[in-house]
Amino acid sequence: MARTTCTVLLVFVLCTGESAAVETGRGTDKSEKGQIVKKQLRYGEYFQYVPRSLKYSAQARFVVIAHGSLKGSDRASVSAERFIKRWTKVAEKRQLILLAPVFTKETFGSSYEKAGPGGGYRGLFGRDIGADDFVNLIVDRYRAYSPTFDGRFYLYGHSAGGQFTNRYIVRHPERVIAAVISAAGRYTFPDANAPWPYGMGRLRRRLRWSNSQDAKQIDIQPDPSGWVAAAALPVTVVVGGDDTKRMTDRPGQKGSNRIEIARHWVEDMNRLGASEKRRKMFYLRVVPKIGHSSSRLTPYCIERLFSRAAKGQSDPDKARSTLLVLGGDPHCDDNWLKEWELVAESGHKFLETEGERKGVLQTHPISAHQPFVFKRSVNIRRSGKTSLAIGVHGVNDFELEVMLNEKCVYRRTIHRWWEDISVDLSKWRNQKVEIEVLHKAGGVEKWNREEGFFDYIAVVHR
């Protein structure tokens, strides 16, 4: 591994660059276009998809797709093929070559019930080759196929594959264009006191890959410069809003569930970037009404991987302000408030910043039974798609309701993390409607501690 010092080379390895034999030859040929093809290397298998739409190899861009852990009798090859299938449409549209490594239980410790040493591929470990170097070996086969290919690629991983992804980017930031991490449960924090794979601290342990092998001493000292370089990459973490199962405590991990841990990691990586005078590049997207589902999160991951944030520009959710019916930029000041009537006697104040966001209105229910209300009238356009976009989080859980013409069309419990919510208004095309956004108490006992924070409320037309 490029940014890791290992004093002992083991039968299972967190590899240095020298531990992988070089595989030569072209990765693909014309007859394989439009097909998911299984490929075999010395250290394992992977799946490949080359789009039919790809006319010139010089146009190719590469995406590596890391599948999740395997439960029971699940087979890694089945999981990897299932994951790559979900990306074939976008591959055709964007001329992407897809590569999905097969992380088997035997070689890369991908079992859900019993992970391999160090977490197996989650922590970049492998029995014969490090999981990261296995991916590099796959990708480097395509240098001959595309003469302009510089070895850099887009990276996506779900759950255990998301753990692989967040650790890969701090080990090999020079190989990554942009990354999306889907619902990972653990992260490698920029914390020198937490040992690898949970932080940038030294790992000294005796580990064995199987009961038939003797335990071996490993000594890993990560290079902190990898975290600094990774902080400059466009990275988005996508998590389902219902993915709130409590996670087992691990060294250096902050938060109790996937959403909270992801939020802390994103904040810490952005703080690290700011210390190097770099602008914010890490974002968290919480998708309402989805649990720990790779298939349901995939469309959101695809969107974020190829968004403006993935091109090193501003956060695409915030960039949508250019499409708003409102005037000005609602994410920089209180302009977004000017279009709304605040139906409240008190209980609100404007904040220049709240966490990672700017231009935030702090609100509070008037009483246990009387909500804080935003209110306005708007003409829904005849064509296109119109939606109501809301950026919001709470201190304690509260109820958010959207009313159209005094009828509830959306209801959701708001938690302690930022959420970007979209409510489709297209059903009311070519109509004038009265919109009310209600911040309601979640209960009669704790309503006085249920503050809400609104980053924007905007009518969006596309």
Residue 201 has pLDDT above 70, yes or no: yes
Residue 434 dihedral angles phi and psi, to the nearest 5°: -105, 120
Other CB atoms within a 10 A radius of the CB of residue 129 amount to 25
Domain boundaries in the chain? 4-313, 320-461
| Cα–Cα distance measured from residue 124 to residue 121, given in angstroms and rounded to the nearest whole number | 4
User: Tokens at residue 168, please?
Assistant: 């890969």
Could you read off the pLDDT of 140-164 as tens digits, one per residue?
Answer: 999 888 777 889 999 999 999 999 9
pTM passes above 0.75: no
Mean pLDDT of 26-38: 80
Q: What integer pLDDT is reported at residue 124 of this predicted model?
A: 95
Q: Choose the most confident range, by mean pLDDT, from 20-29, 243-252, 345-354, 389-398.
A: 243-252
Mean pLDDT of 181-197: 97
Residue 308 has pLDDT above 80, yes or no: no
Mean pLDDT of 412-424: 86
Name the 3-class secondary structure at 303: helix
- Return the sign of the alpha-carbon dihedral for residues 342, 346, 352, 354: negative
Other CB atoms within a 10 A radius of the CB of residue 396 amount to 17
User: Tokens at residue 258, please?
Assistant: 């996937």
- Domain boundaries 4-313, corresponding CATH code: 3.40.50.1820
The beta strand positions in 183-281, using DSSP E, are 203-207, 216-222, 235-240
What 408-417 contacts at long range (C-beta under 8 Å, 24+ apart), as own/partner pairs, is 412/288, 412/289, 413/442, 414/452, 415/241, 415/244, 415/259, 416/260, 417/259, 417/260, 417/263, 417/284, 417/286, 417/393
Q: What integer pLDDT is reported at residue 396 of this predicted model?
A: 78
* Reported confidence tier of residue 310, pLDDT bands at 50, 70, 90: low
Q: What integer pLDDT is reported at residue 18 of this predicted model?
A: 35
Mean pLDDT of 126-130: 92
Residue 425 has pLDDT above 80, yes or no: yes
User: Tokens at residue 77, please?
Assistant: 């090859």
Residue 261 has pLDDT above 80, yes or no: yes
* Reported confidence tier of residue 62, pLDDT bands at 50, 70, 90: very high
Which amino acid, one-letter code, is at 40?
Q
Least confident of 189-203, 204-218, 351-365: 204-218
Q: Which residue has the higher pLDDT, 50 or 60?
A: 50
Residue 391 has pLDDT above 80, yes or no: yes
3-state secondary structure 317-357: HHHHHHHECCCCCCCCCCHHHHHCEEECCCCCEEEEEECCE
Q: What integer pLDDT is reported at residue 317 of this predicted model?
A: 44
* Reported confidence tier of residue 5, pLDDT bands at 50, 70, 90: very low
| Cα–Cα distance measured from residue 154 to residue 301, given in angstroms and rounded to the nearest whole number | 12
Q: Choose the most confident range, by mean pLDDT, from 170-174, 219-223, 254-258.
A: 170-174
User: Tokens at residue 357, please?
Assistant: 């966001």
Could you read off the pLDDT of 315-372 as tens digits, one per residue?
Answer: 444 433 323 332 233 333 456 888 898 886 566 888 887 876 878 899 988 888 889 9
Mean pLDDT of 284-312: 84
Cβ contacts of 39 within 8 Å, gap of 6 or more: 27, 45, 46, 47, 48, 138
Residue 346 dihedral angles phi and psi, to the nearest 5°: -165, -165
Q: How far is CA 15 from the centre of its chain?
A: 25
CA distances from 25 to 31, 33, 130, 145, 388 (A): 16, 17, 22, 8, 52
Q: Which residue has the higher pLDDT, 57 or 247?
A: 247
Residue 310 dihedral angles phi and psi, to the nearest 5°: -75, -10
Domains 4-313 and 320-461 share a fold: no
- Domain boundaries 320-461, corresponding CATH code: 2.60.120.260
